[in-house]
């Protein structure tokens, strides 16, 4: 039994675009750098938060026991 529905691959909007290799190389040079900066900033904020809790909560309590 055949269907009257057409495939999405028949539509020009669904077909993959041609990739410019020079533009792809340019993007791949900058995107990992941005991801590394974002990850580094997140880790720095976590370490800063830990240090603030340590300094403001644990040190004022002194030794326990």
pTM: 0.55
Question: What pLDDT shows up at residue 59?
Answer: 85
15 assigned to some structural domain:
no
53 assigned to some structural domain:
yes
Give the DSSP letter of residue 61: H
Tell me the C-alpha distance between 49 and 42, whole Å: 11
Question: What pLDDT shows up at residue 17?
Answer: 73
8 assigned to some structural domain:
no
pLDDT one-digit tens code per residue, 8-61: 666 666 556 788 889 888 888 888 888 899 999 999 999 999 999 999 988 888
The per-residue DSSP string of 6-60 comes to PPGGGSTTSSPPP--HHHHHHHHHHHHHHHHHHHHHHHHHHHHHHHHHIIIIIHH
- Residue 31, sorted as left (phi over 0), alpha (psi -120 to 50) or beta, turns out to be alpha
* Number of domains making up the chain: 1
């Amino acid at each position: 039994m055949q269907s009257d529905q057409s495939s999405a691959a028949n539509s020009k909007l669904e077909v993959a675009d041609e990739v410019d290799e020079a533009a792809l190389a340019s993007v791949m040079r900058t995107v990992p750098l941005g991801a590394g900066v974002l990850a580094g900033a997140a880790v720095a904020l976590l370490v800063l938060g830990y240090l603030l809790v340590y300094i403001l909560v644990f040190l004022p309590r002194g030794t326990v026991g």
